Amino acid sequence: MFNICAIVVTFNRKELLLECLKALLQQTYKLNKIYLINNNSSDGTYELLEEINFLNNKQIEYINLEENIGGAGGFAHGLKTAYKNSHEFYYLLDDDAEPALNAIETLVPYLNQSYSAFASTVYNNFELSETSHRGNFDYCNIYPTPQKELPLKEYENKSVEIEMASFVGILVTKNSIDTIGFPREEFFIHFDDTEYCMRLSKLAKILMITDSVIYHKEKRQEEKIVKNFLWFKKNRIRYDKLWIKYFGKRNSIYLAKEYTTCKIKFYSKLLLEYVILIKDIILYDDNKINRIKFSTSSYIDGLTDIFDNKKPTNILKGNL
């Protein structure tokens, strides 16, 4: 029997979390431990877990953080906690992911092979589709995103070697963690799994097992609204969603700067994108000054390795 644990990070999605935890507890291959990292949820997550007696379940180790440190911080904290207990494998998943009951068991026959990690197949909203959850890296065309989706045809194979597997059903080996350490908590949200897989894939490929299935019940929030300038129309990011977008832009720029093999191509594309973005803010958007602050900060911070995760909220409140 392999010593396998799961690490779940949750924030204000208690109903989805319950479905995730029930699936983990009912796995046909029993997990040694489930580490549940609560990112200081305010939706009654703790009370619900207490009500259904999950907090007294010896298989679950519940950790409530004093503040929301983002998905990146949650996974880093959870993995560091689990690592102290010397498990052999660490299964990472979001609270909106539900593994099939045989997901772990289906991975087990492959675990004696030399890979940096293993991965389940992601079904987005119960459908198999090409998504950024599984794929490979293109280090020349690295921006705005380095991962290239795995073509659907590849899923016809029993197993597929890949370089990128999001934190939705990736099983990391202890040997890999011994070598590369933990996810970068300062990323807060977005691209933390990408960066971690860049390090993992330098050790060895990741092996995806197509019959091991995890369902990702992703619900996209509407973040864009249509804005007009004269007779032109454009989809623009809602002002209240800008603070989230800051992290994705900052982190993607940082990764591209660090890993690109085509520097001139990257910096040329970045400059053109920034000029167009500022032009569109002036023509289409409300809160122009703050939007320019958001955008400029995300570009500069990504290029200069600044990870101040309170900055977006301060800009949104007008404190910067």
Fold classification of 4-216 is Spore Coat Polysaccharide Biosynthesis Protein SpsA; Chain A (3.90.550)
User: Residue range 136-149: average pLDDT?
Assistant: 95
Q: Helix, strand, coil shares of the chain as percentages rounded to 5?
A: 45, 25, 35
Alpha-carbon distance of 53 to 25, in angstroms, equals: 13
Report the C-alpha gap between 28 and 1 in whole angstroms: 12
Alpha helices in 68-133 (DSSP H): 70-83, 103-107
Q: How far apart are CA 291 and CA 242, in angstroms?
A: 8
Domain boundaries, the chain: 4-216, 224-316
Q: How many residues does the chain have?
A: 320
- Does pLDDT of 228 surpass 80? no
Say what the alpha-carbon torsion angle 163, 165, 171, 175 is, to the nearest 10 degrees: 30
Residue range 106-116, pLDDT digits in tens: 999 999 999 99
Mean pLDDT taken over the chain: 94
At 220 the pLDDT is 65
Give residue 287's region: left, alpha or beta (phi > 0; psi -120 to 50).
left
Q: What confidence tens digit (pLDDT) does each residue in 36-94 have?
A: 999 999 999 999 999 999 999 999 999 999 999 999 999 999 999 999 999 999 999 99
Euclidean distance between CA atoms 197 and 101, whole angstroms: 25
Percent of the chain with pLDDT over 70: 98
pLDDT of residue 221: 61
- Looking at the predicted structure, is the pLDDT value of residue 170 above 80? yes
**Phi and psi at residue 99, in whole multiples of 5°?**
-75, 140
